[in-house]
Amino acid sequence: MVSEGKFIVASGPVIIENGKVLVTKDSKDPFYKLPGGTVKEGESLEEGCIRRAKEEINANVEIVSPLRPNILYENPKTKEKMTIILINYLSKLKNKKEIKPIPPNQEIKWMSLADIKNGGGNVSPNVRELIKKEFENLK
């Protein structure tokens, strides 16, 4: 099913260290989500991932591998009907001591993958789905 009208392609990093994933919270949404966002015209998915990490949390990332794409058919917050294609990349953080939230991001947090998979953590539904599918062997 493809929604009529608005169509968005987004890309971002999934940064995991010591069983925890880096998530952000901004002023727009009531939940934590992965850094990332809309890819610019003429930009590759990988370039968008790297750019959004820098713009949102001052992160320098190295892409390790692509993860499963995810498709949403409505905006998680507004419930507006649209098609959002999310392409995430497992990424390595190269400047951990320099990361910081850049507005509208207000917070950066390391959240347990196991907690997210088991229903804990205030994360967006697509983050929970991604963690369940990609890291299904977690206990």
CA distances from 80 to 4, 63, 83, 84 (A): 11, 31, 10, 11
> Domain containing 17 — which CATH number?
3.90.79.10
Domain count, the chain: 1
Is residue 2 domain-resident? no
Whole-angstrom Cα distance, residue 58 to residue 68? 25
- Answer whether 0.75 is exceeded by the pTM: yes
* Arithmetic mean of pLDDT over the chain: 91
Is residue 59 domain-resident? yes
Give residue 139's pLDDT.
44
Is residue 139 domain-resident? no
Tens digit of pLDDT for each residue in 96-115? 999 999 999 999 999 999 99
Q: Under a CB-based contact definition with an 8 Å cutoff, are residues 57 and 35 in contact?
A: yes
Average confidence (pLDDT) over 37-57: 97
Q: Which domain holds residue 44?
A: 7-134
The token duo for 79 is 């419930």
